[in-house]
């Protein structure tokens, strides 16, 4: 897990893919790799109306990442200071073991460099005190990034912790009843 | 590195210095230090004055050199 | 064979790239121009550049110097001065698609092509032969060398000495393949001359219709000049015709190939000797503006022993010429040939065919020091030529004006002198007489200088013309020289190379263009798809054996000794080629597989230093998991991994190193990867929980399953 959370408020999300575009722009990626994905779920009829769910899928920066274990060259690393999982391009030889190992298909192939590339929360930006590109450019402001301790809303915190910590156990559960889905958090002013 | 006899086809040689021969041309200086194979020895009488055809390793090409700039490294098998 | 040499194109490209990456060029317009420079340089380095690139590069660099950006201006200035000092290298990248340093991955030349004095694109024509496209193979050869058949029969093939396949087992039979393609192309139709450029109106006179002169005439005619060849002999071919015996090179081979040169409008004047029938002045009056002196080296060194002037003492050059011109009378019953080079061997083998009862070759040194080609010495012995070593002739014995024998001394080899030479030292009192009724001397050739004095050229102390071997310029306005007249006795292919360079030099002279200062880099003519075959087959292909005429028949006829390859044989031979025009043998794949992936599946010894480790393509399949890291790191695309139907294949320059069936995604049925690869990953992650209950899913299905579980709904397929 990383020390950051990246919270997606799916009730506000309109599936515009700004996040994906800016993610690629920031990493100067060619056609092909998509480091974060907005997955469209649905439509399904809810109360007689069709409903679509947008699920935002960046990297979960797992506690014990499959990709890091799979990587034979030590290119895939987890930062000790904050838990961000990233690729060291110098060391990557393009064997794609990380792509094969990741249960969510996070690591992507960059055909230009012949190396793996993945979401690293835009660590270059984060290290400068900026937000990841996807968050910074989200049109509806449905993406939130930060450290859990900066949170004021306890439910959001719970959610973030759950998202960050348990990564795959949460997501690999059998499909859950809609009721247990994180609901839209009440809108509040962030404490300064 | 002691040479044994005249240069023969297949011998490995090094262009180890410039030659004083008047048929040594300035562009040949770029080949000093390169190694190669004798592909056509002096043709008939082991004449120390005859030019010898050397094919340089890698991408140096094939050229005729005066023999006094060549040093034998090994014989052809 | 990783070439560790530098290339100005690549170096400046990297400088521009790092200046951009480090954002040291601040001014936006300067930056834009630097980006443009990078694109241009990238094109040049990758072999994608067109004729406009150099001008564009210059223009953009110049405009960069005018911007208010110190770093950018400096870069622009550097590029301008590079173009000034090393423009030829940039040119060769663009025009010949060849980076002689090998630093530009896609343009790294094949060693065989670089070794060829005429610069033939060997890998490409060999590949065409492998595909059965013989006519095209010959047309490709003739872009660089108008004598594919002649060279196919008599070339000394320097290319084969550097053939990388030679490090695996033995070199590809490049020369034999050339002869096969030429013969096949002619038997199916004809050669196709390259298109001629429009007529320029310039007139060039080539002196000497040997390989150098004819090649110069061919290329000059292609450039649109009017070419006349004057030749002292009554036929074309020079030493190819009168120096090389017919059993090695049939006359019709030369005649056919010369005819195609004539077809370009080249005019021949036979029985015309410079300095006798015509002079430089008379030719200039006729309107010739440039001259290529390529008269060869047709005079012989003398033995300088008493009795040499007896009529039965012949020099080999004249003897071979007379036989070539139709004189088939044998000089004697017992003939001694003096000398140890190829000419001596040719003379001895010719004497056998003329019916001499006993032909003995005398050589001053030992067998191992004989300069003649080993293969030809062997054939001569098969034909009954006797070799006697360490024997020095001292006097031709005559009676009544006829040769009766040769008085000789035995010799031993001295200790090596300062230059490492071991000289034959006569042994006191070892006089003996070898009976003979004729002697043929073959101890070296020189240039016949008669008739050339009025050219007023510089001559070396060895009676060769002093000329620039890059441009063939002989130091006088409009006069060029090349071939044996400059090099001393050399080879056919060197003469062809000299003729080709001379044509370039003469063309530039006529057009008033600057002359090159560096040897031209050979032109890459194509980048053909490699022929696919299994690794085991590629390894098993052994060098073809040239079928030879039986020695009994060889003794009595001038029939060609080499019978030529069969089609099946030739195609198999062509498939032995490792395609060094695509694989630059940098060894990156081996390093990645061995040191980074720690799989060590690739056994490619030939990418390292010769003899360092063995090469065995078959070994790859034992360990290779088809991860594709080698292919991802191959700078030239020689190593390819591809999924084909149900299989994944790893192919290096056509050699199939590994192939495995692919497993399928349990979600959508798409192909995932071979089980070896999946196992490799599974093993590495075995300490972690299994995702998706151990189901094998492709990336798409994994994402969908995750999204679904997060949302509780089903994601639509697609």
pLDDT band at A191 (very low <50, low <70, confident <90, very high): very low
In DSSP terms, C274 is beta-bridged to C278
From B45's Cα to the closest Cα of chain C, the distance in A is 6
Judged by phi (left if over 0) then psi (alpha if -120 to 50, else beta), residue C239 lies in alpha
When CB atoms are compared, the residue of B3, B50, B62 closest to C115 is: B62
CB contact under 8 A, A101 and C684: yes
DSSP annotation string for C635-667: SSS-EEEEEETTEEEEEETTEEEEEEEEEE-TT
Size of interface A-C (CB pairs under 8 A): 115
Chain B residues with CB under 8 Å of C343 CB are 43-44
User: What DSSP letter does each residue of C486-520 carry, written as one string?
Assistant: HHSS--HHHHHHHHHHHHHHHHHHHHTPPPPSSPP
Question: Is residue B17 less than 8 Å (CB to CB) from chain C?
Answer: no
What's residue C717's pLDDT? 43
Q: Is the pLDDT of residue A44 over 90?
A: no
Are A115 and C632 inside 8 Å of each other by CB?
yes
Q: How far apart are CA C448 and CA B15, in angstroms?
A: 31
Residue numbers in B near C444 (CB within 8 A): 43-45, 47, 50
User: What integer pLDDT is reported at residue C255 of this predicted model?
Assistant: 96
Going from the C-alpha of C380 to that of each of C357, C359, C361, C387, the distances in angstroms are 14, 10, 10, 9
Taking CA–CA distances from B47, the nearest residue in chain C reads C444
Contacts of C508 (CB under 8 A, 6+ apart): C471, C514, C515, C516
What percent of chain C clears pLDDT 90, i.e. is strictly above it?
A: 66
pLDDT tens digits, one per residue of A131-182: 899 999 898 888 888 876 665 554 555 555 555 544 444 343 333 333 333 4
> pLDDT tens for residues C471-514?
999 988 999 999 999 998 899 999 999 999 999 999 999 999 98
**Tokens coding C715:** 């994601």
How many Cα atoms occupy the beta-carbon half-sphere of A172 within 13 Å? 16
Total H helices, total E strands in chain C? 28, 22
Cβ atoms within 10 Å, residue A38: 21
pLDDT at C295 over 50: yes
Q: Which residue of A has its CA nearest to C625?
A: A95
pLDDT at C692: 60
Residues C385-443 have pLDDT tens digits of 999 999 999 999 999 999 999 999 999 988 877 766 778 899 999 999 999 999 999 98
Strand partners, C652: C639, C655
| Residue A163 pLDDT | 54
pLDDT of residue C646 exceeding 80: yes
Give the number of beta-carbon pairs within 8 Å between B and C. 146
Name chain A contacts of C633, Cβ cutoff 8 Å: 93-94, 114
* A73/C597 touch (CB, cutoff 8 Å), yes or no: yes
Using DSSP's 3-state secondary structure scheme, residue C446 falls into strand
- What mean pLDDT comes out for the span A86-102? 92
Are the C-beta atoms of residues C583 and C638 closer than 8 Å to each other?
yes
**pLDDT of the residue at A177:** 35
**How far apart are alpha carbons C323 and C321 in whole angstroms?**
5
pLDDT in tens, C615-638: 999 999 999 999 999 999 999 999
Hey, what are C649's tokens?
């294949």
Q: Which residues on neighbouring strands pair with residue A40, listed in sequence order?
A: A54
**DSSP state letters, B21-63:** STT--GGGGGGTT-EEEEEE--SSS--TTS-EEEEETTTTEEE
> Residue A153: its pLDDT value, please?
57
| The most confident of A86-90, A149-153, C25-29, by mean pLDDT | A86-90
Tell me the pTM.
Answer: 0.88
Tell me the backbone φ, ψ of residue C280, rounded to 5 degrees: -55, -40
Q: What is the SS3 assignment for C530?
A: coil
Identify whether the C-beta of residue C89 lies closer than 8 Å to the C-beta of residue C9: yes
Residues of C in contact with B53 (CB under 8 A): 156, 158, 490-491, 494
d(CA C354, CA C370): 25
State the nearest Cα–Cα gap between C715 and chain A, in angstroms: 4
In terms of Cα–Cα distance, which of A47, A32, A21 is closest to A134?
A21
Q: Mean pLDDT across chain C, nearest whole number?
A: 91
For A97, which DSSP code?
A: H
**What is the chain C residue with the closest CA to A97?**
C681
Report pLDDT for C701: 82
* Residues in chain C closer than 8 A to B5 (CB atoms): 365, 368-369, 413, 416, 420-422
Task: Please give the DSSP secondary-structure letter assigned to residue C335.
Answer: E
Residue range B9-58, pLDDT digits in tens: 888 999 999 988 888 888 888 899 999 999 888 655 556 678 889 999 87
- Cβ distance C416 to B5 less than 8 Å, yes or no, reads yes
- Summarize pLDDT for C503-526 with one digit per residue, the tens: 999 999 999 998 988 888 898 898
C-alpha B37: how far from chain center:
8
Q: DSSP letter string over A10-67?
A: TTT-----HHHHHHHHHHT--SS--SSEEEEEEEEEETTEEEEEEEEE-----SS-HH
Residue C178 C-beta-side C-alpha neighbours within 13 Å = 28
d(CA C403, CA C313): 8
Which among A104, A92, A36, A98 is positioned nearest to A66, based on CA atoms? A98
User: Residue C378: pLDDT above 90?
Assistant: yes
Distance CA C117, CA C501 (A): 10
> Are B22 and C117 within 8 A, CB to CB?
no
Cα–Cα distance for residue pair B43/C373, rounded to 1 Å:
10
Q: A186 is written with which tokens?
A: 């009440």
CA–CA min distance C574, chain B (Å)? 21
Q: Among candidates C5, C39, C11, which has minimal Cα distance to C108?
A: C5
Quote the pLDDT of residue B46.
Answer: 55
Q: Which of the residues C519, C581, C584 would you substitute to probe the B interface, choosing the one with the greatest number of B C-beta atoms within 10 Å? A: C519
Q: How many Cα atoms within 13 Å fall on the side-chain side of residue C260?
A: 24
Note whether C222 and C194 are within 8 A (CB): yes
**Shortest CA gap B18–chain C (Å):** 15
CB contact under 8 A, C685 and A173: no
Closest CA to C505 of C459, C467, C449, C455: C467
Assign C252 a pLDDT band (cuts: 50, 70, 90): very high
CA atoms of C57 and B73, how far apart (whole Å): 44
Closest by Cβ to C703, choosing from A37, A69, A173? A37
Cα–Cα distance for residue pair C592/C635, rounded to 1 Å: 13
Looking at CA atoms only, how far is residue B19 from chain C in angstroms?
Answer: 13
Cβ(C370)–Cβ(C391) under 8 Å? no
Which residues of chain C are within 8 Å of residue A41 when distances are taken between CB atoms? 707-708, 711, 713-715
Classified as helix, coil or strand, C290 is strand
pLDDT at C360: 97
* Nearest one of A168, A46, A164, A10 to C709, comparing CA atoms: A168
Instruction: Supply C48's token pair.
Output: 């994608």
Q: Is the pLDDT of residue A187 over 80?
A: no
Angle at CA of residue C622, ends C620 and C624, nearest 5° = 60
The one-character DSSP state at C437 is S
Task: Give the pLDDT of residue C182.
Answer: 96
**Lookup result for tokens 């991994």:** C641
Burial (0-12, 13-18, 19+ Cβ within 10 Å), C483 = buried
| C3, C416, C443 ranked by CB distance to B59: nearest | C3
Among the partner-chain residues C596, C704, C707, the one whose CB lies closest to the CB of A93 is: C596
Of A53, A96, A102, which is closest to C627 when you measure between CB atoms? A96
Place of tokens 């404490």: A191
């Amino acid at each position: 897990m990383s020390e950051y959370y990246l919270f997606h408020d799916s009730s506000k999300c309109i599936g515009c893919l700004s996040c994906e575009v800016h993610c690629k722009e920031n990493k100067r990626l060619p056609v092909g790799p998509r480091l974060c994905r907005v997955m469209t779920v649905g439509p399904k009829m809810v109360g007689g109306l069709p409903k679509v769910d947008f699920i935002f899928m960046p990297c979960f920066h797992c506690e014990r990442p499959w990709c890091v274990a799979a990587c034979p060259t030590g290119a895939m690393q987890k930062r000790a200071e904050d838990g961000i999982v990233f690729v060291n391009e110098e060391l990557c030889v393009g064997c794609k073991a990380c792509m094969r190992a990741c249960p969510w298909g996070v690591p992507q192939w960059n055909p230009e460099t012949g190396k793996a590339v993945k979401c690293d929360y835009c660590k270059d930006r984060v290290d400068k005190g900026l937000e990841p590109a996807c968050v910074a450019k989200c049109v509806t402001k449905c993406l939130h990034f930060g450290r859990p301790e900066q949170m004021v809303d306890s439910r959001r915190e719970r959610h973030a912790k759950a998202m960050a910590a348990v990564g795959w156990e949460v997501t690999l559960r059998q499909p859950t009843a809609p009721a247990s889905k994180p609901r839209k958090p009440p809108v509040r002013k962030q404490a300064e | 590195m002691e040479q044994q006899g005249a240069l023969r086809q297949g011998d490995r040689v090094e262009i180890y210095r410039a030659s004083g021969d008047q048929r040594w041309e300035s562009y040949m200086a770029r080949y000093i230090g390169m190694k190669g194979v004798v592909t056509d020895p002096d043709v008939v009488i082991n004449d120390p004055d005859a030019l010898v055809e050397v094919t340089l390793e890698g991408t140096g090409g094939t050229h005729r050199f005066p023999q006094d700039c060549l040093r034998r490294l090994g014989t052809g098998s | 064979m990783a070439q560790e040499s530098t290339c100005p194109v690549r170096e400046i490209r990297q400088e521009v790239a790092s200046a951009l990456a480090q954002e040291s060029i601040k001014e936006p317009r300067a930056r834009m121009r630097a980006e443009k420079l990078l694109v241009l340089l990238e094109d040049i380095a990758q072999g994608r550049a067109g004729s406009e690139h150099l001008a564009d590069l210059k223009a953009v660099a110049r405009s960069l110097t005018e911007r208010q950006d110190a770093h950018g201006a400096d870069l622009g200035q550097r590029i301008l001065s590079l173009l000034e000092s090393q423009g030829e290298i940039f040119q060769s990248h663009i025009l010949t698609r060849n980076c002689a340093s090998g630093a530009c991955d896609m343009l790294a030349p094949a060693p065989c092509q670089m070794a060829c004095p005429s610069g033939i694109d060997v890998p490409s024509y060999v590949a065409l032969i492998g595909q059965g496209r013989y006519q095209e193979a010959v047309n490709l050869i003739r872009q660089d060398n108008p004598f594919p058949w002649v060279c196919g029969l008599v070339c000394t093939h320097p290319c084969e000495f550097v053939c990388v396949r030679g490090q695996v087992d033995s070199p590809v039979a490049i020369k034999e393949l050339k002869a096969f393609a030429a013969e096949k192309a002619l038997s199916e139709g004809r050669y196709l001359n390259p298109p001629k450029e429009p007529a320029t109106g310039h007139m060039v006179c080539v002196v000497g219709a040997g390989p150098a002169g004819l090649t110069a005439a061919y290329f000059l005619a292609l450039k649109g000049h009017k070419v006349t060849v004057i030749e002292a002999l009554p036929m074309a071919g020079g030493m190819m015709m009168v120096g090389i015996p017919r059993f090695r090179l049939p006359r019709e081979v030369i005649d056919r190939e010369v005819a195609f040169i004539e077809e370009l409008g080249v005019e021949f004047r036979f029985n015309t000797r410079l300095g006798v029938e015509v002079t430089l002045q008379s030719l200039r009056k006729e309107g010739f503006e440039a001259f290529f002196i390529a008269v060869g080296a047709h005079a012989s060194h003398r033995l300088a022993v008493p009795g040499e002037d007896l009529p039965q003492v012949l020099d080999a050059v004249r003897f071979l010429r007379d036989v070539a011109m139709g004189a088939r009378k044998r000089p004697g019953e017992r003939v001694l040939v003096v000398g140890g080079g190829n000419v001596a061997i040719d003379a001895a083998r010719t004497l056998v065919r003329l019916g001499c009862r006993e032909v003995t070759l005398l050589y001053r040194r030992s067998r191992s020091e004989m300069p003649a080609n080993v293969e030809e010495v062997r054939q001569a012995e098969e034909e009954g030529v006797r070799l006697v070593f360490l024997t020095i002739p001292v006097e031709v014995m005559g009676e009544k004006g006829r040769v009766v024998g040769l008085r000789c001394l035995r010799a031993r080899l001295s200790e090596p002198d300062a230059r490492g030479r071991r000289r034959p030292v006569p042994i006191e009192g070892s006089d003996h007489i070898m009976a003979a009724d004729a002697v043929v001397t073959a101890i070296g050739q020189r240039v016949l200088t008669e008739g050339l004095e009025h050219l007023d050229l510089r001559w070396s102390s060895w009676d060769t013309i002093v000329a620039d071997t890059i441009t063939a310029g002989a130091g006088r306005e409009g006069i060029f020289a090349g071939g044996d007249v400059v090099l001393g006795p050399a080879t056919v292919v060197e003469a062809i190379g000299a003729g080709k360079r001379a044509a370039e030099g003469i063309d530039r002279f006529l057009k008033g263009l600057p002359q090159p200062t560096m040897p031209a880099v050979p032109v890459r003519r194509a980048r053909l798809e490699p022929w696919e075959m299994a690794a085991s087959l590629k390894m098993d292909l052994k060098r073809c054996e040239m079928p030879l005429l039986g020695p009994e028949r060889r003794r009595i006829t001038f029939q060609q000794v080499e019978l030529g390859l069969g089609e099946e044989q030739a195609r198999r031979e062509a498939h032995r080629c490792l395609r060094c025009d695509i694989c630059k043998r940098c060894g990156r794949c081996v390093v990645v597989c061995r040191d980074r992936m720690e799989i060590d599946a690739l056994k490619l010894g030939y990418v390292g230093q010769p003899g360092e480790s063995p090469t065995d393509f078959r070994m790859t399949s034992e360990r290779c998991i088809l991860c594709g890291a080698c292919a991802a790191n191959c700078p030239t695309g020689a190593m390819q991994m591809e999924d084909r139907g149900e299989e994944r294949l790893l192919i290096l320059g056509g050699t199939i190193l590994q192939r495995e069936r692919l497993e399928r995604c349990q979600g959508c049925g798409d192909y995932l990867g071979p089980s070896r690869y999946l196992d490799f990953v599974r093993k590495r992650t075995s300490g972690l929980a299994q995702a998706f209950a151990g189901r094998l899913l492709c990336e798409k299905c994994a994402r969908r399953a995750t999204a679904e579980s997060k949302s509780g709904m089903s994601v639509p397929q697609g």
